[in-house]
Structure 1
Amino acid sequence: MNTFFAETDAVGGSLGLSAAVAALPLVTFFIMLLGVKARAHVAGLVSLIVAILVAIFGFSMPWDLAGMSAIRGGLYGAFPIVWVILMAIWFYQITVLSGRFEDLRRTFDAIGGGDLRIQAILIAFCFGGLLEALAGFGAPVAITATMILALGVKPLKAAITVLIANTAPVAFGAVAIPITTAGEVGGKDAATIGAIVGHQAPFLAFFVPLILLFILDGMKGVKDAWVPAVIIGASFAVAQWFTATYFAYQLTDVIACIVSLGVAVVFLRFWKPRGVAGVRERYNLPPLDVNAKSDLTPMRVWMALMPYAIVVLIFGIANLATGVATWLKTTNVAVHMPLLKERLVTAAGKPVKSDYSFTWLNNPGSFLLISGIIVAILYMIFNEKGRYALRFGDVVQEIGRTAYRMRYSALTIVLVLALAYVMNYSGQTVAMGEFVAGLGPIYAFLAPSLGWIGTAVTGSDTSANALFSKLQVAAADNLSHQGVTGVTPELLLAANTTGGVVGKMISPQSLAIAATAVDMEGKESEIFKAVLPWSMVFLLAVCTLVFLQTNVLHFLVTGH
């Protein structure tokens, strides 16, 4: 049988040359976006073709395996990734169709004193973090982007805001699946890795609200509202640190988001926003009528918040109730991929795991569908004498309208995941990783860049850890043999996870999701150019922190 295993030095027997050739698909994608200014799905298609050609002619992968790798990735892109995003936007649209979203906006007005900057931080950072903790898969970006857009924030700023806000919680997203994966693949204790990540991610979390202020309203916004931004960031960071270190790393984001949101609500009862009139004028919004009496009743506030309470409840039961979570896994359907299962092997001759798991029920999209149906039914029952009339037919039709609206973004995501799987199975991604890992002692500084690359390619911190965890452990062992002190496998696994956090905002998948949510389909390149500098700054900060953890800040690894 004509089997294939990935060789990371396949091009001319040189790891460096192989890594350079392996980078061509990614370079092509970003050149197409920024240089040619092609639409994202066109850039994805061209890059996929380049990846297949590199796999065949550079890494000697048989053409049929390269094609089947693309199909395998495309399937995963379509389901569950596109399914999750479709359901997230549809779920939001239910609140719009019912008229309840306007009440939600006014509720955030009341909490933030009419300051859209504070409201945007509460939605993108605190609420978005809670969605990331439970759902992941792009759902937080899709939902919070539409909510911030409704506040009056311009589409580009809304997209940038949610992508940057989504950095801090990603490491512990979807009940800390990235960290659990790092532990399983790397053969190390996940709780120890989670504790180290809990000593890295909070440094990002503290500064994110201040950065969001700057994005939303420049230095004027920072001067006006730095106090609540610091309070929100600090409370999130402290809760994240404590939970990851002393409690349960799986619940880190859930607790951090609830704590920061609660602290913000209490603080804003005593602190009055400054410059509200100015920011509303700069956003061309009508002046805030401070004398107007709100007709929001407690019942209307509850009905506006109720959809998201149901989301938290459904996701909490699905992920945290052991019996339910175990049962849900039994509903997964394993689909064997022809060719890949028989012919794709490791260097040792063992089959590479290539089955496609059809998680028709056990995925965030299906949980959102269930949540949406429950919300729609409750809205139809409690319609306050027709004031919030909602027809079930409209709810069903909205799925079709949403699917049509995001058709190009869906195609982009399918193509990007196809690209990622071709690069992964052919050895291109690992070739880049091994090249970076072979740079000697400086690797302690560069370790997070592997997670950054992996997440930028796949759109998933979990996937980045699945790709590079073994490599990070091997790199730590090699550095130890070279006499480099302070570098432990757990530290590098944590570095891979936190590096992936700051790479997610430039992932083509994330760009497509954000563009769809804010009605900027085809303008992904504008979003990319805006978030790339922030991603690089964050990466430099994480690399510096990890390097310091190998020496002067080693107590952040050992705990003493």
Structure 2
Amino acid sequence: MKWTQVIDPFHNIALSVLVAAVPILFIFWALIVKKMKGYQASLIATALAALLAVLVYGMPLKLAVLSIGHGALYGLFPICWLVIMSVFLFNLTVRSGQFEIIKHFMASITGDRRLQALLIAFSFGSFLEGTAGFGAPVAITAAMLVGLGFNPLYASGICLIANTAPVAFGSIGIPITVASQVSDIPEMPISQMVGRTLPILSIILPCYLVTLVAGFKRATEVFPAVLVSGASFAFLQWFSSNYLGPSLPDVIAGLGSIICLMVFLRFWKPKAVWRFANEPAPTFVTTTYTSGQVLRAWSPFIVLTIMIIAWGLQPIKDVLNSWVFFQFEVPGLHNAILGQDGNPIPKIFKVNYLSAAGTAILIADLIAIPLVGLTYREGARVFVDTLNQLKFPILTIAAVLGFAYIVNDSGITLTLAAVLANTGSWFPFFAPVLGWLGVFITGSDTSANALFSKLQYATAQTIGVDPVVTVAANVSGGVVGKMISPQSIAVAAAAGDLVGKESQLFRFTVAHSFLMLVIICFITLAQAYAITWIIPTYEMLTSKKAVAVPDLSAGYAYLLILALLLVVFSVVVRRIARRRKETSALAG
């Protein structure tokens, strides 16, 4: 069975766009107006998209069902796999009592909720985005803030908003790598162009977050700290993206802003510590923890950081994939859909369960269980509780990815893109909207770049604008769509204990998403016509690189170093714990 995608089913692009927008408009209506639960809105939107695909676009029913199934399968792996393991890690620290020590540590740096939001949601979240991505940063940071005493809605909402600036360079730069592969523009100029757009957002974002948490007046009271956080992050993001490439900006900028803010707070404190209204008085002042206890409490997140950095290294990925990696053509769907160019669209499902980020977090979980003082039997119970906690988010994420795949495969997404591509000289203004739309639908800047980078390139050439401007705009526009993507909402709701209240979270973030999108649209328009000197010079990729057989020796060496590092760290933490027990026994 072969079927060709249709872009204009009514032979009237205006009417086709109105009909194609129905499932997406439904999601907005369901979450904002009707306040539906996330899984209900996602399932109904998927059914609507399938009806349009079959009845309007002429997609065979079999292909529509297979497309939804393919998306749902991808939602379960690797997305849900990662989310489950991330929340499991956090739950282990809570069940063991170690999170109480983490809360004390954060309060010892600062008891001010405004500054805690900067450290965790913005800086630590950016670091995690650079290493793991795909939902892990929001899941971990939202859960941490809730554990510290933040209102769950605010915790999840500000973590979603904070996750905008780093998304373009997430997962060791994968979104930009994909944009390069699809558009044939080298990675470096795309990285440079994005790195000359997003630092503007990065320097604004900390103030924006603190204003959301405490109001503008209270935000001005910590403006020096906000400036240090935002300026250090923006500078390091600009520098690394322009001179080192797309792999490390989030890691470098995230760590750099954490260090800069912690050092700054040693010399400067706000006049008054701000906490939420009606919040119980802090009790940590009566408890003193040793540095060893603090190290043990943080050990799960330290192991997590080591693991996801290691798993992001290509030599290690190559080794892991050489051990266990298989892929299969989706039966009945592979090459069954023909694109507008007449070429069949491959549908291959890759099962890289060893090199997946979720597996790195699982290993961190297993290492962390004895480090935090739990038995593996107790850890297993925590895991069962975590699965029960996430049952509705898992359903939501599977439904959302099924929705994303059916709208892409049927041509619905291409219909919406076509109208934006016909805006002529105004296209640079609307180029970020394509990225925003792609991320809203798929939940991934990587997927949005795979969808629209070629369209961005071709349209820019047609109107005489440098294609790197619009391809980079697709990347930059996508980052502000992340906070309202149903997939991201589901992840944040799960981490923030807001399951069934996804509509509240969506309404919390949607206005901020539109505002930031407009800012990026104007920046892109200026880059295209007014400040063209900002565009990097580059040469197009003239030919595809030959796929070389990877040299696995480096990967094995890295894995050996990783194993030794984890063993040494585990021994140190266990000895600290044992010494603490012996001291307590003698004191008793």
TM-score for both structures, normalised by structure 1: 0.93
1:179-199 Cα shifts (integer Å, max 9, x gaps): 000000111101110111001
Match of 2:2 in 1: 3
1:105 deviates by 1.2
Whether the aligned pair in 1 keeps the contact of 2:122 and 2:206 (CA below 8 Å) is yes
1:337 equivalenced with 2:330 (yes/no): yes
Whether the aligned pair in 2 keeps the contact of 1:206 and 1:234 (CA below 8 Å) is yes
1:115 equivalenced with 2:108 (yes/no): no
Q: Distance in 2 between matches of 1:174 and 1:309?
A: 18
Match of 2:219 in 1: 222
1:493 equivalenced with 2:471 (yes/no): yes
Q: Distance in 2 between matches of 1:361 and 1:136?
A: 17
Whether the aligned pair in 2 keeps the contact of 1:406 and 1:516 (CA below 8 Å) is yes
Q: Distance in 2 between matches of 1:305 and 1:479?
A: 53
Q: Distance in 1 between matches of 2:261 and 2:416?
A: 43
Q: Residues 113-512 of structure 1 correspond to what in structure 2 (within 5 A)?
A: 114-276=111-273, 279-280=274-275, 282-287=277-282, 292=285, 295-320=288-313, 322-330=314-322, 331-380=324-373, 390-480=374-464, 487-512=465-490
1:92 equivalenced with 2:90 (yes/no): yes
1:519-551 Cα shifts (integer Å, max 9, x gaps): 111111111111111001100000011111113
1:351 deviates by 2.4
1:515 equivalenced with 2:460 (yes/no): no
1:283 deviates by 4.7
Q: Superposition RMSD on alpha carbons, in Å?
A: 1.6
1:223 deviates by 2.2
Q: Distance in 2 between matches of 1:12 and 1:559?
A: 42
> Does the C-alpha gap of structure 1 residues 301 and 440 become closer, same or farther in structure 2, counting only changes over 3 Å?
same
Q: Give the SS at the match of 2:219.
A: helix
Whether the aligned pair in 2 keeps the contact of 1:280 and 1:287 (CA below 8 Å) is no
Match of 2:58 in 1: 60
1:535 equivalenced with 2:513 (yes/no): yes
Match of 2:530 in 1: 552
Q: Distance in 2 between matches of 1:342 and 1:280?
A: 57
Match of 2:564 in 1: none
Whether the aligned pair in 2 keeps the contact of 1:202 and 1:241 (CA below 8 Å) is yes
Whether the aligned pair in 1 keeps the contact of 2:192 and 2:536 (CA below 8 Å) is no
Q: Give the SS at the match of 2:350.
A: strand
1:270-299 Cα shifts (integer Å, max 9, x gaps): 0012321xx33625130578xx46522111
Q: Distance in 2 between matches of 1:195 and 1:313?
A: 27
Q: Distance in 1 between matches of 2:335 and 2:153?
A: 46
Deviates more, 1:102-111 or 1:168-177: 102-111
Match of 2:561 in 1: none
Whether the aligned pair in 2 keeps the contact of 1:152 and 1:285 (CA below 8 Å) is no
Whether the aligned pair in 2 keeps the contact of 1:280 and 1:286 (CA below 8 Å) is no
Match of 1:82 in 2: 80
1:410-461 Cα shifts (integer Å, max 9, x gaps): 1111111001000000111111112101111111111000000000011000
Match of 2:559 in 1: none
Letter of the structure 1 residue corresponding to residue 484 of structure 2: I
> Does the C-alpha gap of structure 1 residues 415 and 375 become closer, same or farther in structure 2, counting only changes over 3 Å?
same
Q: Distance in 2 between matches of 1:530 and 1:337?
A: 38
Q: Give the SS at the match of 1:285.
A: coil
Whether the aligned pair in 2 keeps the contact of 1:152 and 1:283 (CA below 8 Å) is no
1:5-24 Cα shifts (integer Å, max 9, x gaps): 21211x22233322222111
Letter of the structure 2 residue corresponding to residue 500 of structure 1: G
Whether the aligned pair in 2 keeps the contact of 1:182 and 1:465 (CA below 8 Å) is yes
Q: Distance in 2 between matches of 1:554 and 1:141?
A: 35
1:434-489 Cα shifts (integer Å, max 9, x gaps): 21011111111110000000000110000000000110011111111xxxxxx211
Match of 1:483 in 2: none
1:25-69 Cα shifts (integer Å, max 9, x gaps): 111122222222221111111111110011111111111101100
Q: Give the SS at the match of 1:558.
A: coil
Letter of the structure 1 residue corresponding to residue 255 of structure 2: I
Deviates more, 1:538-547 or 1:519-528: 519-528
Q: Give the SS at the match of 1:335.
A: strand
Q: Distance in 2 between matches of 1:500 and 1:519?
A: 26
Q: Distance in 1 between matches of 2:460 and 2:392?
A: 42
Letter of the structure 2 residue corresponding to residue 220 of structure 1: K
1:12 equivalenced with 2:15 (yes/no): no
Q: Distance in 2 between matches of 1:491 and 1:311?
A: 36
- Residue among 28, 32, 35 paired with 2:33: 35
1:387-420 Cα shifts (integer Å, max 9, x gaps): xxx2211111211111111111111111110010
Deviates more, 1:325-334 or 1:66-75: 325-334
Deviates more, 1:543-552 or 1:62-71: 543-552
Whether the aligned pair in 2 keeps the contact of 1:281 and 1:287 (CA below 8 Å) is no
Q: Distance in 2 between matches of 1:281 and 1:44?
A: 33
1:263 deviates by 0.5
1:119 deviates by 1.1
Whether the aligned pair in 1 keeps the contact of 2:434 and 2:477 (CA below 8 Å) is yes
1:510 deviates by 0.8
Match of 2:574 in 1: none
Whether the aligned pair in 1 keeps the contact of 2:187 and 2:245 (CA below 8 Å) is no
Letter of the structure 2 residue corresponding to residue 434 of structure 1: A
Letter of the structure 1 residue corresponding to residue 523 of structure 2: L
Q: Give the SS at the match of 2:59.
A: coil
Q: Distance in 1 between matches of 2:282 and 2:102?
A: 19
Gaps of 5+ in 2: 539-588
> Does the C-alpha gap of structure 1 residues 206 and 283 become closer, same or farther in structure 2, counting only changes over 3 Å?
farther
1:342 deviates by 4.4
Letter of the structure 2 residue corresponding to residue 327 of structure 1: V
Whether the aligned pair in 2 keeps the contact of 1:469 and 1:493 (CA below 8 Å) is yes
Aligned length: 537
Q: Distance in 2 between matches of 1:274 and 1:207?
A: 23
> Does the C-alpha gap of structure 1 residues 221 and 404 become closer, same or farther in structure 2, counting only changes over 3 Å?
same
Letter of the structure 2 residue corresponding to residue 160 of structure 1: G
> Does the C-alpha gap of structure 1 residues 336 and 559 become closer, same or farther in structure 2, counting only changes over 3 Å?
closer
Identity %: 38
Letter of the structure 1 residue corresponding to residue 160 of structure 2: L
Q: Distance in 2 between matches of 1:312 and 1:460?
A: 22
Whether the aligned pair in 2 keeps the contact of 1:8 and 1:427 (CA below 8 Å) is yes
1:334 deviates by 0.8
